[in-house]
Amino acid sequence: MKPELLSPVGNFECLVAAIEAGCDAVYLGGKHFGARNFAGNFSDEELLEAIKYAHIYGVKVYVTVNTIVYEAEVKAFISYIDFLHKNNVDAIIIQDIGMMDYLRQVYPNLEIHASTQMHIHNIEGVKLLEKLGIKRAVIARETDIETLKEIKKNTTLQLEVFVHGALCISYSGQCLMSSLIGGRSGNRGTCSQCCRMKYDFLHDNKKVNKENYLLSTKDLNTILNINELIDNNIDSIKIEGRMKRPEYVYLVTKMYRKAIDSYIETGKIDINDNDILELKKLFNRQFTKGFLFNEKNEDIINQYRPNHLGIELGTVIKYNNQYLSIELIDDLNIGDGIRILNETEDIGFNITKMFKDKKQIDTAKKGEIIDLYFEGNVSINDKIIKTTDKKQLEILNQLIKNKTRKISIEGSIVCKLNEPLVLKISDGNNSVKVTSKYTVEQFVKIPTSKEQIEEQLKKLGNTPYLFSKLDIINDDNIFINIKELNEIRREAIALLDKKRLYLITYKKEEYNTKVKEFKEEIGYTAYIYNIDQYNKQEKAIEIVTDDLDLYNSIVLDERVTLNIPRVITNHDDYNVRLLVGELGSINKYKDIVSDFSLNVVNSYSVAFLHNMGVKRVTLSLELNEAQIRKLIESYIERYNKKPNLELIVSSYPEVMISKFNLIKYYSLSNNNNYLKDKFKNRFKIEYKNNLMYIYHFKKIEFENHSSLFKMGINRLRIDYKE
């Protein structure tokens, strides 16, 4: 099976680039509710144009609405989805579980894809989506190939996998670092990329790192491994990059198109070293196969630099009188961009002048020594990289502008004396027939030849079509006005366009969710880590721990709940009350309370979880009191019942959970480890359940507990992590 090749599109120029490069589908965002707020994105009018443009080429359009949706935004969100559905979007990509539940009920003909932000990483999560009628899951990027194979064997759901581009160091949808530090939420499309910033790693209060970008990942590149995805019938392979330029979208799409097609046709991936070099030139932070293909822990990150590393150009061999000399290990041209990597400060600039033997030149070859005028910090042996290759960009730009992607059509025209012209064309799936009002004439001076008819009909201009076959059935000695041939061709193409711009049947039904009544149990939940903390919890209504030894020692206390991990490959059997933090566990277990990591920020999500059997729902850490009040009021108004809610009111929250492990990277013990940022904030790090957890540097606290209880929160949780 040939997988769908899915390309990122941040603006209309990127859309054209992706289509020209051979994608099967694109994903893009509008101006609202997308997880890439800083991409160009599409206005409503541009979206309509993009959908039509893509559909003409047989390319599907998926729109990202993959943020969490606050209660006050629900009406606008639903209106936006309604607009998309009415205008033939092929699918939406969604994160918010409440909105997913609403949309699947109200719009039965709207295809829904579960975003990677939904943290789907195991078969139980996929089974839940399957039950709900969701069409596709975008699998968490940390999921390894063996787990992916098992999931695919046991589901009818389509699976989509990221194969190229930027990686998050945290599980997607599970990172609160940017949100809690600066109010820019990764779940709201405004991530400040804390993972790309400088940190010190402290163990026993001593700095252990040499490089500074401790959490900055390399870029994913699996082009030489996609045979495993193809062989295991993965439905869609996805390129990351909605904030990238058109040339990037074109080249990466073109390379993966080449890789897929060559493997399907020959059993070999036709990608060579030069292809990889071209990808590096355009953008790389070094490449990794990622956790998808079981890359080693130390090969996931690039602590050296967090930005584009291009290709190595050479090193500084001399610097004096504001001129630096470089011995080139790659060609260099006027207009190229370079960066000098210096210990104190990296400096980048475009080449406007360069010299060889004191003569100004426009181009220099590998092995030559050239001089550049330069003012700034530089040292002998500083590495220089080429970050922009002007000739590469010019070539890619021209390839995009050439618009060589064509839709093959076959046609036939009947040209009989004293009869109307009859033109039929087909793209293989759609066929049209046009009969002209014009009647073929007897020639007077010069007859119209078959060659002239063919030449005129094949003038398809700026249309995306190309005749692969054209049959002409004509009488001899006839005359046809050229204008009439043009007119019948235009009319037939317009009809074919209309058929290719297929309509997705819009259907709207009622949202119908009934929720149960819950017993009101107002009080505190204590999250504990040791027996001393347990001994101080006489007033707690419920006690939670994730420490199995501690749990087993206090299991006879009927208040005790076991918290199980929110990253689970295989679900164990439990017959006890559980605190769970991912959708697979919602599907698997019965006696459950849901945790903050499900990102619940609206009343629809609360109702969905209650209907899935969740007895109490813990709200997101990204809600403030006003938003909580609005959520509760809306729930009561809509369902005529009170929700059963929990809120974490005192904790050092987990801001990141990662398969990458800094403690293991530096071969340290799992005690007294911290990240220190440039503001001297210290983030505690722990390693458990084969994962790295990073905790906020300060305690988050809600102070007015009585007002929270009055508002309708039944349970307030105090986390005793120190």
Question: In angstroms, rounded to a whole number, what is the distance separating the alpha carbons of residues 20 and 254?
Answer: 8
- The per-residue pLDDT for 71 is 97
Dihedral in degrees, nearest 10, Cα atoms 360, 363, 367, 371 = 30
Least confident of 54-63, 177-186, 199-208, 629-638: 177-186
Total number of residues shown for the chain: 722
Residues 103-109 have a mean pLDDT of 98
- What pLDDT, in 10s, does the model give residues 626-670? 999 999 999 999 999 999 999 999 999 999 999 999 999 999 999
Which of these, 492, 435, 439, lies nearest to 463 by C-alpha position?
492
- The per-residue pLDDT for 506 is 97
- What pLDDT, in 10s, does the model give residues 287-323? 999 999 999 999 999 999 999 999 999 999 999 878 8
What mean pLDDT is reported for the chain? 95
Token pair for 246:
């058109």
- The per-residue pLDDT for 322 is 84
Percentage of residues in the chain having pLDDT higher than 90: 90
Kindly list the strands in the beta sheet with 407-415, ordered across the sheet, starting from the edge strand earlier in the chain: 431-439, 420-426, 407-415, 465-474
Q: Is the pLDDT of residue 410 over 90?
A: yes
List, in sequence order, every residue forming a beta bridge with 236; answer none if it has no partner: 4, 160
Triad 624, 630, 635: Cα angle to 5°: 125
CATH 2.40.30.10 domain residues, the chain? 311-402
Residues whose CB is less than 8 angstroms from the CB of residue 480 and which lie 6 or more positions away in sequence, other chains included: 415, 421, 438, 440, 441, 448, 453
Least confident of 170-174, 178-182, 485-489: 178-182
Confidence category of residue 480, pLDDT binned at 50, 70, 90:
very high
Burial 615-641 (b: 16+ CB within 10 A, else e): bbbbbbbbbeeebbbbbbebbeeebee
Q: Is 380 exposed, middle or buried (0-12, 13-18, 19+ CB in 10 A)?
A: exposed
Three-class SS of residue 697?
Answer: coil
Token pair for 488:
């019948």
Fold of 311-402: Elongation Factor Tu (Ef-tu); domain 3 (2.40.30)
List, in sequence order, every residue forming a beta bridge with 560; answer none if it has no partner: 543
Which of these, 169, 414, 116, 368, lies nearest to 288 by C-alpha position?
169
* β strands within 547-663, DSSP E: 560-563, 578-580, 592-594, 614-618, 645-651, 654-658
Confidence category of residue 212, pLDDT binned at 50, 70, 90:
very high
Q: Is the pLDDT of residue 244 over 80?
A: yes
Determine contact, residues 325/370, Cβ cutoff 8 Å.
Answer: yes
Question: In angstroms, rounded to a whole number, what is the distance separating the alpha carbons of residues 129 and 107?
Answer: 16
Token pair for 269:
């991936």
Whether domain 4-167+219-275 has CATH 3.20.20.70: yes
Residues 203-222 have a mean pLDDT of 96
Question: In angstroms, rounded to a whole number, what is the distance separating the alpha carbons of residues 300 and 615?
Answer: 39
CATH 3.20.20.70 domain residues, the chain? 4-167+219-275, 523-652+699-719
Determine contact, residues 285/302, Cβ cutoff 8 Å.
Answer: yes
Which of these, 398, 428, 564, 411, lies nearest to 499 by C-alpha position?
428
- The per-residue pLDDT for 38 is 57
Fold of 523-652+699-719: TIM Barrel (3.20.20)
Q: Is the pLDDT of residue 176 over 90?
A: no
Residues whose CB is less than 8 angstroms from the CB of residue 277 and which lie 6 or more positions away in sequence, other chains included: 311
Determine contact, residues 237/226, Cβ cutoff 8 Å.
Answer: yes
Highest mean pLDDT among 31-35, 341-345, 370-374, 544-548: 544-548
Percentage of residues in the chain having pLDDT higher than 70: 99
Residues 312-340 have a mean pLDDT of 93
Q: Is the pLDDT of residue 399 over 70?
A: yes
Residues 52-68 have a mean pLDDT of 96
Residues 6-21 have a mean pLDDT of 97
Which helix (H) or strand (E) covers residue 313, if one does?
strand 311-320
- The per-residue pLDDT for 37 is 57
Determine contact, residues 126/634, Cβ cutoff 8 Å.
Answer: no
- The per-residue pLDDT for 377 is 85
- The per-residue pLDDT for 34 is 62
Q: Residue 685 corresponds to which amino acid?
A: I
- What pLDDT, in 10s, does the model give residues 114-133? 999 999 999 999 999 999 99
Q: Is the pLDDT of residue 686 over 90?
A: yes
Sign of the Cα torsion 184, 299, 674, 543 reads positive
